[in-house]
Structure 1
Amino acid sequence: MKLLYSNILPLGIEDAQQTIIDCFTEQMSQADRVEIAVGYISTASVNELANMVEKYGIKSICLTIGMYYIEGMPEGSYHTALKLNQKWRDVGIGEIRLVKPFKYHGKLYCFYKNEKPFAAIIGSANLGVIKLEAANRRQYEISALTTDTTEVSAIAEHIEKLKQPLCSANIADISGMPLIREINTALNGIELVTSVPQSNVAFYEQCEASVSFFLQLKVPKADERFLDDGKHFTKSNINVCYAAPRSKRKARDWYETQLTVGSEIYHMDGYPEKNKPFFVVTDDGYWFKAHTTSDNNKQFSAVGDELIMGRWLKGRLAAAGIVKPVNNTAEDRNREGMITQEMLDEYGCDRLLFKKTGQTALDSNGEALDVWFLAFIGNADEAK
């Protein structure tokens, strides 16, 4: 057995000592199959594992995760793992599994060559150790490497038992997975937007609606994102950032969004009057002023900053690991940042709940404005 360490001062690595990540990388470079069973992961560590699998030509890989089915899984990690699982299944090299009947807190890494396990790492380190972030950079771990045939075989056998259907299932086959919403940081520090406590959100959410509407998000399907015939929403609504830039020198901001409301909604009694401001409180705790504009008051937007609504809406999808913000939409030739129907399906919602709470609040001028509750969460099918 060889002890492995974190390298954190004042307990830094000494001569002849090896870090956990260096040992893990060394074993990966020698293996053609890897079996991992851990309690927790992170989005960054899953992406790093995917890169290492490709770099070292791993032919078979299984990642079993032990704590989330009962505790709930961060949505960013969940969607990242779901995509990687599909990729591994498509190319036939492996899968990602979740333990179901109990909380599994072990941390095991087993390495194979030519169908035989030759080394294993056991200790306190979850998968996040292979890609340090702010959250775990100062978290000290201790593990051990064993190459003893008996010990390695026992660890390999244990992981195989954990992969049996009585203990775990493929992540894509699990329904009702409890997800923990990630914090949308795209609105942090944005002028005209304030955060409100969850107790306030809960109050407005529970208010009986005087009127409420479902606002459909109109987006193209993935295979339609290059069709610019005006029928597939590739340059309108929440993808307006892909329309022609207002300036030849500057592309539209990825967060630029238009919420265009259908006539079946804006003609309904109780829908906000054109250019009459109101307050919005969102289901994730943001507060800002909004209004309806344009012909037939069909445009729904924040007051004073056309990016606020996009930062709220697209920021949620980005926080969930479904899409990555694009720095320059003019250079996004593959339109990977375009919001598609498949992305909304993955998120589980393709419309917004817009509810008048019956409450009012004073703006900076002392005027009492209606308060509306705006939610982007839940199953789209349930809203139909």
Structure 2
Amino acid sequence: MKLLYSNILPLGTTEGQDTFIDCFHEQIAKSDRVDIAVGYVSRAALEELDLLVEKHNVSSICLTIGMYFIEGMPEGSYNCALKLNRKWQEAGIGEIRIVKAFKYHGKLYCFYHDGKPFSAIIGSANLGAIKLEASNRRQYEISSFTDDSAECRKIAEFIERLKEDNCSSNIDHIKGMSLIREVNTSLSGIDTVTQLPPTAVQLYEKHKTGVSFVLPLKVPAYDERHMDDGKHYTKSNINVCYAAPRSKRKSRDWYETQLTVSKEITRAPGYPEKNKAFFVVTDDGYWFKAHTTSDGNKQFSAVGDELILGRWIKGRLAAAGLVTPVNDTQADTDRKGMITKEMLREYGCDSLVLSKTDQKALDEDGSELDVWMLSFETMALNE
């Protein structure tokens, strides 16, 4: 057995001491198969593992994750793991599994060559240790390395038992696991937006009336992103940022959004009056002023900043790991940043819900405005 350290001052590594991350890189480079069983993962670590599997031509990989089925899994890590699992399965090299039977908090890394385990790491390091970030850069881990054949065989046997169906399932088959919403930071620092504590959101939830409207998000399927089929996906709704720029020198901001509402909804009793401002409380605790405008009262938007609604909707999808914000929309010719039906399906919601409360709040000029709730809620994996 050999100890593996973290290189963090004042306990920096000394001569002859190896770090977990260096040992992991050294062992995976020698492997044609890797089995990993840990409690927790991170998006960055999942992406790093995939890169290493490709770099070293690993032909068999299985990652088993142990704590999330009972505790709930961060949505960003879940969506990244789901994509990676499908990629590995389509390539025929492996899978990602979730432990269901209990909370598994162990950390095991087993390396194979020619069908035999030749080394293993056991210890405190979760998968996040292979990709240091701000959140774990000062987190000290200590593990042990072994290349003893008997010890490696016992570790391999344990991981195989953990992979059996009575303990775990492929992540694509998991039902009933809650997803933990990632924090949307896209609205941070916006002067006209306030963040409310969860207790305030819960209070407004209790004051909702029976007046409620479902606002569908009109987006293309993945294969329709470049099609001009009359639906004008690039000219309206949440993908308006891909329309022709207003200036020849500057692309539209990726967060620019125009939420267009159908006449069937705008003409329904109780829908907000045209050009009459109201306050919005979002289901994740943001407060801003909104209104309905344009011909037929069809545009629903925040007051004073056309990016706010886009920052709220697209920021949620980006935080969930389903899309990456685009710096230059005109340069995004592949439209990787375009919101699609597949993204909304993976998020678990393809509409907003606007619900009136019986509450009012004072505007800057002292006038009373109605308070509405706006929801874009994901669902538990129970379908």
TM-score for the superposition, normalised by structure 1: 0.98
2:153 paired residue number:
153
1:366 paired residue number:
366
Q: Structure 2 vs 1, CA of residues 7 and 176 (structure 1 numbering), >3 Å: closer, same or farther?
A: same
CA contact (8 A) 2:179 2:379 kept: no
Q: Distance in 2 between matches of 1:285 and 1:95?
A: 36
CA contact (8 A) 1:36 1:109 kept: yes
SS in 1 for 2:334: coil
2:281 paired residue number:
281
1:341 paired residue number:
341
- Displacement after TM superposition at 1:331 (Å): 1.0
Q: Distance in 2 between matches of 1:208 and 1:78?
A: 32
1:295 paired residue number:
295
Asked whether 1:202 is paired with 2:202, we answer yes
- Displacement after TM superposition at 1:232 (Å): 5.4
- Displacement after TM superposition at 1:210 (Å): 4.1
Q: Distance in 2 between matches of 1:166 and 1:269?
A: 53
- Displacement after TM superposition at 1:216 (Å): 0.5
CA contact (8 A) 1:68 1:98 kept: yes
2:59 paired residue number:
59
SS in 1 for 2:35: strand
Counterpart residue identity of residue 82, structure 2: L
Q: Distance in 1 between matches of 2:328 and 2:208?
A: 42
Q: Distance in 2 between matches of 1:247 and 1:191?
A: 26
Q: Distance in 2 between matches of 1:377 and 1:217?
A: 13
2:307 paired residue number:
307
Counterpart residue identity of residue 52, structure 2: M
Q: Distance in 2 between matches of 1:110 and 1:262?
A: 56
**5+ unaligned residues in a row in structure 2: which ranges?**
none
- Displacement after TM superposition at 1:291 (Å): 0.3
Asked whether 1:110 is paired with 2:83, we answer no
User: C-alpha deviations, 1:120-171, integer Å up to 9, x for none?
Assistant: 0000000000011111111100001100000000000000000000000000
1:11 paired residue number:
11
Please show how residues 123-272 of structure 1 align to structure 2 within 5 Å: 123-231=123-231, 233-272=233-272
1:40 paired residue number:
40
The number of equivalent residue pairs is 381
1:85 paired residue number:
85
- Displacement after TM superposition at 1:333 (Å): 1.1
- Displacement after TM superposition at 1:361 (Å): 0.2
Range that drifts further, 276-285 or 174-183: 174-183
SS in 2 for 1:332: coil
CA contact (8 A) 1:228 1:234 kept: no
Counterpart residue identity of residue 366, structure 2: G
- Displacement after TM superposition at 1:51 (Å): 0.7
- Displacement after TM superposition at 1:230 (Å): 2.9
**5+ unaligned residues in a row in structure 1: which ranges?**
none
Q: Percent identity?
A: 69
CA contact (8 A) 2:67 2:99 kept: yes
Counterpart residue identity of residue 33, structure 1: R
Q: Distance in 2 between matches of 1:49 and 1:95?
A: 12
User: C-alpha deviations, 1:98-140, integer Å up to 9, x for none?
Assistant: 0001000000000001111100000000000001111111110
CA contact (8 A) 1:44 1:131 kept: yes
Q: Distance in 1 between matches of 2:118 and 2:232?
A: 54
User: C-alpha deviations, 1:53-97, integer Å up to 9, x for none?
Assistant: 111111000000000000000000000000000000011000000
CA contact (8 A) 2:36 2:108 kept: yes
User: C-alpha deviations, 1:320-364, integer Å up to 9, x for none?
Assistant: 111111111111111110000010000000001100001100011
- Displacement after TM superposition at 1:229 (Å): 3.5
Q: Distance in 2 between matches of 1:323 and 1:230?
A: 25
SS in 2 for 1:209: strand
Asked whether 1:321 is paired with 2:314, we answer no
- Displacement after TM superposition at 1:191 (Å): 1.5
Q: Distance in 2 between matches of 1:120 and 1:207?
A: 56
1:27 paired residue number:
27
- Displacement after TM superposition at 1:236 (Å): 1.9
What RMSD, in angstroms, separates the aligned Cα atoms of the two structures? 1.2
Counterpart residue identity of residue 4, structure 1: L
Counterpart residue identity of residue 216, structure 1: P
CA contact (8 A) 2:38 2:126 kept: yes
Q: Distance in 1 between matches of 2:379 and 2:196?
A: 25
User: C-alpha deviations, 1:2-46, integer Å up to 9, x for none?
Assistant: 110000000001001111000000001000100000000011100
TM-score for the superposition, normalised by structure 2: 0.98
Q: Distance in 2 between matches of 1:208 and 1:52?
A: 50
Q: Structure 2 vs 1, CA of residues 68 and 93 (structure 1 numbering), >3 Å: closer, same or farther?
A: same
CA contact (8 A) 2:234 2:241 kept: no
